[in-house]
Amino acid sequence: MEKLNRTPIIIASVIFAIGLWLTVNLGFDYTTTKDIPIVLENLEQNVALREPPPEKIRARVRGEGWKLLGMKLGGDTKYMVDLGNERSTVNVRTTANLSDRLRIPSDIEIAELEPAEFTIELEQMSDKRLPIEPVVEVTFRDGFSKVGPVSTNPDSVIVRGAGSLLEKLDSWKTVPVELRDIREPVRKTVKLSDSLSQIVSIEHQTTELSFDVQPIAEKTISGMEIEVEGVPANREVVIIPPRIDLVIRGGINQLAAIEDDDFTARIHYRDLLADTSGRVTAQIEGPDDVRIVQRSPESQQYVIRRSQ
């Protein structure tokens, strides 16, 4: 005789028991809390929010278990604030005009709303063109490096919002971008930040980020003459030695285009007067994104004497 498989019977019994328990217990009244999203409607086109409004209010509600469960699971519960014809500060008492503002089943009782009130700051809409600031973190494969700045196309964006807010903004960032093991030029479409999306709008949502990447190389610039600036007419300065050698590092194509006279070495006379050691270090000026990895000698001696 085959052994009876009781598993389906046990499962059915458990489901029946749970259903019976829910039917009995959810018929009672309960109190619970629910976060209800705040929705702003009928905001005039030429009016802007000065600050982000509260995202939600917390309601303590009471009602039959089945109704509360449906409200918890449902997505239609909202707290509506009508901003039609409003142009300045709006003070909202959350318990006022509940029948118009709160979209909730009629047989659910509201015991408490938190906060009891909040303020919405409005002002005239304005716009401002802001440069786009790329937020990018890059690591390069060994032997490669970025050459030149990171650029964006378009390089600016028109932002619309409250004038007092726009006055505080100097740029508009992209979302953070991480690039790893880079060994070739980069061209990538990235999104613009939406951190203020509740209170401002932007004319476009993306920009193309790009920068050059080249193999790293080194180049020597030899015998660069050191200039002395600001020497009075009755003085002359002798720099010992009068020339300096540099070893620079950058992209291989970048270094190929650099000439020796793209760099200058300068010492100012006032620095000599302030020195007490007898040695000074020349200030080197040259192209951006080229790194000086060695200078010889590191510093110079000098002699100040009355001119003949």
pLDDT, tens digit, for every residue of 49-108?
888 888 888 878 776 665 666 666 565 778 888 888 888 888 888 888 877 787 776 667
**Mean pLDDT computed over every residue of the chain:** 85
Domains 29-120 and 217-306 share a fold: yes
**Contact assessment for residue 170 and residue 56, using Cβ atoms and an 8 Å cutoff:** no
The per-residue pLDDT for range 131-188, each reduced to its tens digit, is 999 999 999 999 999 998 999 999 999 999 999 999 999 999 999 999 999 999 999 9
Q: How far apart are CA 206 and CA 194, in angstroms?
A: 11
The per-residue pLDDT for range 188-199, each reduced to its tens digit, is 999 999 988 888
The per-residue pLDDT for range 10-52, each reduced to its tens digit, is 565 555 455 545 554 444 566 777 788 888 888 888 889 888 8
The arrangement of strands across the sheet holding 279-280 comes to 235-240, 300-306, 279-280
The per-residue pLDDT for range 102-135, each reduced to its tens digit, is 777 666 777 788 888 888 889 999 999 999 999 9
Q: Hey, what CATH topology would domain 217-306 get?
A: RNA Polymerase Alpha Subunit; Chain A, domain 2 (2.170.120)
Percent of the chain with pLDDT over 70: 84
**C-alpha closest to that of 134 among 196, 179, 73:** 179
Q: Cβ–Cβ contacts within 10 Å for residue 44, how many?
A: 14
CATH code at 125-215: 2.170.120.40
Q: Could you tell me the residue ranges of all domains in the chain?
A: 29-120, 125-215, 217-306
pTM for this model (two decimals) = 0.70
**Contact assessment for residue 34 and residue 78, using Cβ atoms and an 8 Å cutoff:** no
Chain centroid offset of residue 42 CA: 30
Q: Which CATH number among 3.40.50.1950, 2.170.120.30, 2.160.10.10, 1.10.10.10 corresponds to the domain 29-120?
A: 2.170.120.30
